[in-house]
Structure 1
Amino acid sequence: MLLGVDVGGTFTDAALLTGEGELVTAKAPTTPDDQSCGAIAAVEAVLEQAGAHARVVERFVHGMTVGTNALLEQKVARTALLATEGFTDLEELGRQARAELYRLCAGHPPPLVPAELRVAVAERTGPEGVLRELDEDQLRARLSDLAEEYGHGPLEAAAICLLWGFRHPEHERRCAQVVAEVAEQVHVSTSHETAGVFREYERCATTVVDAALSPPTRRYLGRLLDRAREAGLPAPEVMLSGGGVVDAGTAARHGSWTVLSGPAGGAVGAAYRAGQAGAPDAVCLDMGGTSCDVSVTLGGGVATAGLREVGGRALAVPMVDV
């Protein structure tokens, strides 16, 4: 049997596909303080309705809104940014374009990394390779100062984004090693792994979001794994913003990849049903209690985008275009 669980703003839905091809569904109220409680409650309801036991579930796929909520509500991990000297303010500077062109006092979302946690890395890499070697001693001293000033508790994550790091990632890797030496409990996101794309601001913003969301995502998935294990369920696979799935460990390491986890599941499911109905080109609408998501299916596939804004923040990761 195949089990799917989607967490919405109001309800958590569970769908069970039996070996005979029957689809059984159930709902449970979403539990905002800990979404894993509502998820397991929905699973128990659908298993009871189907007259099945958790041990017969072969696969458990999960769509969640933990990352979305944390980003929109600014409930993210305390994060440091390691960037090439002269470029530590990239996330705050952003692009010149603004959404409300004629509003002279238009605001921008506050940076996720405060100025005191931005670390200037003494190094320089160009398109052809290293121009200035990384000063590891200086970096280690700066990180040690941060660890002493804020303690290991408050500093939960570090985003590393160096110029041309997507093409020559050696310095980013070495920075990650230094962070691990100085503060081993701190989560590290590097730009070449998170969003290895051209354009500094988008890559930096995505890496910062990834670092800031990974700790809360990891904590949530850890609780869900524990509850799933207690219930006799297999380990959950997590829906990605682009419509695919990964294991929970990968999702926990890259919080930015699941920002649109929930809406992506609805878009992929709607595209599948549209194809079954003989409509490979369709407009799909997913209405919940909190929001209404609209996507487009073209030739049987869900339209995706490689760059989007969520909560006013650029994300250069594959996402379903909803």
Structure 2
Amino acid sequence: MDAGVDIGGTFTDFVLADETGLRIFKRLSTPHNPAEAMVEGLLNTPDIEASALRRIIHGSTVATNAILERKGARCGLITTAGFRDLLFIGRQNRPELYTLHPQIPAPIIPRVYCFEALERLDHTGAILIPFDSNQFERVIAQIAEAHLEAVAVCLLYSYLNPEHEQAIREMIVSSGVLPADRVALSCDVLPEFREYERASTTALEAYVRPRVSAYLSQLEEQLPDEAQLFIMRSDGGAAATNIIRQQAVNMALSGPAAGVIGAFQIAQQAGFSKIITLDIGGTSTDVSLCAGSPTMRAEMTLDGLPCRIRTLDIETVGAGGGSIARVDSGGALRVGPGKARGASPRPG
């Protein structure tokens, strides 16, 4: 038996498929512990034989929520000496040109946890300044003192020559401060030019990786051993948990991507290849254009932070089935982003 599970802010949806057909049902989500509703639905629903589960494909907002709610890991950033403020300087783009008081999203890594490594490569990847391991010993001591859960490493031109980034990871791991999977290297996450976008994406990876890994471990411990767990990626594909643990930021649009792929598949079966998908949840609504195939893009922003990953082109608005309508001070009708109590109803 195959199972598809999508966890939303209000409902957790289940689809079970075997030789007899499809079974579809819902449960209220458990925002305090998203895995709870999923495990309960798969293991404790009448007429479902948990031991018959062979493959589970799961769409989740764990990575997205960790970023939007700023509840990711306590992590640091290591840059080439002189580039400590890379995440704070960013680009000079002005998405809201006429805003009198623009609000710049704060980086997910505070400046106190941004460190420098004495090294330098040139634009061909050749070494100009060798990596100074003695200087980096002091950085490791600072990382240990700060009790960081993860570290992102983004050095200039490391996409051409990863030697120094790899040396940094080796020193951190050999010192016992962090395990290898808690050190995210830009040469692995995004090996391409444009250091700000590369640093931002690597920082997001380090920020969500511990949370995603813990979530996946919780699911694997409670689900049947016979069932292989796959996670939806932002590009509409699915990957095994061992891959997602090293590419956690690719879960950023996991749930919405599954909706687009599913809608396009059904439309094709009905004879349509050019569609607009509309996925209305309790909290938000996702829209995507499929002009013959799902549309991809190479970059997205999460709470104003650039994230260069391959993703489906999905637009989201903060209004869904549970959104509250109101009249604002100017007499205009507004819907969302506030919603009814949804998955956690209570008096009052």
Report the TM-score, using the length of structure 1 for normalisation: 0.93
Aligned length: 311
Helix, strand or coil: the match of 2:223? Answer: helix
Query: 1:29 and 1:233 mapped to 2: Cα distance?
Result: 26
Provide, for residues 7-41 of structure 1, a one-character-per-residue CA deviation record: whole Å limited to 9, x for no partner.
Answer: 10101111011124x22111111111111101112
Q: Is the 8 A contact 2:107 2:305 kept in 1?
A: no
Which contiguous aligned blocks of 4+ residues in structure 1 show a shift greater than 6 angstroms?
Answer: none
Find the counterpart in structure 1 of residue 335 from structure 2: none
Find the counterpart in structure 1 of residue 142 from structure 2: 145
- Corresponding residue to 1:158 among 151, 171, 174: 151
Query: 1:94 and 1:145 mapped to 2: Cα distance?
Result: 25
Find the counterpart in structure 2 of residue 65 from structure 1: 61
Query: 1:44 and 1:211 mapped to 2: Cα distance?
Result: 32
Find the counterpart in structure 1 of residue 346 from structure 2: none
Find the counterpart in structure 2 of residue 108 from structure 1: 104
Q: Is the 8 A contact 1:13 1:42 kept in 2?
A: no
Provide, for residues 178-197 of structure 1, a one-character-per-residue CA deviation record: whole Å limited to 9, x for no partner.
Answer: 11123134711111111122
Query: 1:14 and 1:219 mapped to 2: Cα distance?
Result: 22
Find the counterpart in structure 1 of residue 172 from structure 2: 179
- Corresponding residue to 1:263 among 250, 256, 267: 256
1:18 aligns with 2:10: no
Query: 2:132 and 2:194 mapped to 1: Cα distance?
Result: 24
Query: 2:273 and 2:142 mapped to 1: Cα distance?
Result: 57
How far does residue 233 in structure 1 lie from its aligned partner after superposition?
Answer: 5.2
Query: 1:146 and 1:55 mapped to 2: Cα distance?
Result: 45
Provide, for residues 270-294 of structure 1, a one-character-per-residue CA deviation record: whole Å limited to 9, x for no partner.
Answer: 1111111111111111111011001
Find the counterpart in structure 2 of residue 227 from structure 1: 222
Where structure 1 has 5 or more consecutive residues not aligned to the other structure, the ranges are none
1:211 aligns with 2:206: yes
Deviates more, 1:51-60 or 1:261-270: 51-60
Find the counterpart in structure 2 of residue 55 from structure 1: 51
Query: 1:141 and 1:283 mapped to 2: Cα distance?
Result: 54
Q: Please show how residues 252-291 of structure 1 align to structure 2 within 5 Å.
A: 252-291=245-284
Query: 2:289 and 2:226 mapped to 1: Cα distance?
Result: 33
CA RMSD of superposed structures (Å): 1.5
1:36 aligns with 2:35: yes
1:90 aligns with 2:86: yes
Q: 1:59 to 1:53 in 2, by over 3 A?
A: same
Provide, for residues 130-154 of structure 1, a one-character-per-residue CA deviation record: whole Å limited to 9, x for no partner.
Answer: 221111121122211331x32xxx3
Query: 1:2 and 1:98 mapped to 2: Cα distance?
Result: 47
| AA at the equivalent of 1:35 | P
Identity level (%): 34
Helix, strand or coil: the match of 2:228? Answer: coil
Query: 2:278 and 2:192 mapped to 1: Cα distance?
Result: 31
Helix, strand or coil: the match of 1:88? Answer: coil
Report the TM-score, using the length of structure 2 for normalisation: 0.86
How far does residue 241 in structure 1 lie from its aligned partner after superposition?
Answer: 0.8
Provide, for residues 160-193 of structure 1, a one-character-per-residue CA deviation record: whole Å limited to 9, x for no partner.
Answer: 0011111211111111111112313471111111
- Corresponding residue to 1:134 among 131, 134, 138: 131
Q: Is the 8 A contact 2:150 2:178 kept in 1?
A: no
Find the counterpart in structure 2 of residue 2 from structure 1: 2
Where structure 2 has 5 or more consecutive residues not aligned to the other structure, the ranges are 315-348
Query: 1:145 and 1:18 mapped to 2: Cα distance?
Result: 54
How far does residue 115 in structure 1 lie from its aligned partner after superposition?
Answer: 1.3
Helix, strand or coil: the match of 2:24? Answer: strand
Q: Which has the larger radius of gyration?
A: 2
1:294 aligns with 2:290: no
Find the counterpart in structure 2 of residue 202 from structure 1: 197
Larger fraction in helix: 1
Query: 2:165 and 2:204 mapped to 1: Cα distance?
Result: 17
